[in-house]
Amino acid sequence: MTLPTPDDQVAIGQLLARYCLTLDLDDVDGWLACFTPDATYEVYGHTFTGHDGIRRMVDGAPGGLHLGGPPVITMDGPDRAHTRRNLLFAERGTGATRHAVYDDTLVRTPDGWRVAHCRCRFIVADGLADRPDA
């Protein structure tokens, strides 16, 4: 396992913190800037592609608080990384919570690290599932 450099550790941590905060502040454009233009996002058994597809997904999702744990980062080369992190989501309207694990593929771009692929799976009684009610 190759660990990130200190600079990459900080930059990736900042990216994933920005991911959560922009969602919490309803800054969809800021959130989409965390992704590459051709990124894919897997959640609830569906795959959304590109900024337009990912925007449609988030526009239909409830707002709330996203509390992300620190990522475990594995470097897959100088410009590619894999992260795994946990997340607690509290829905704004109801306070209902969901617990998830995110697996992300990140790439270094001219604008810094960006998410190229995100997979969200929910923590359920039997482990991880594509849906929280599985």
pLDDT tens, position by position, 78-96: 999 999 999 999 999 999 9
* Phi, psi torsion values for 84, nearest 5 degrees: -135, 130
Which CATH number characterizes residue 120's domain?
A: 3.10.450.50
- Which alpha helices (H) appear in the chain, and where do they start and end? 6-24, 28-32, 50-59
Please write the tens of the pLDDT for every residue from 31-76: 999 999 999 999 999 999 999 999 999 999 999 999 999 999 999 9
Does residue 1 sit within a domain? no
Does residue 94 sit within a domain? yes
* Prediction pTM value: 0.95
Does residue 134 sit within a domain? no
pLDDT band at residue 133, thresholds of 50, 70 and 90? confident
Q: How many domains does the chain have?
A: 1
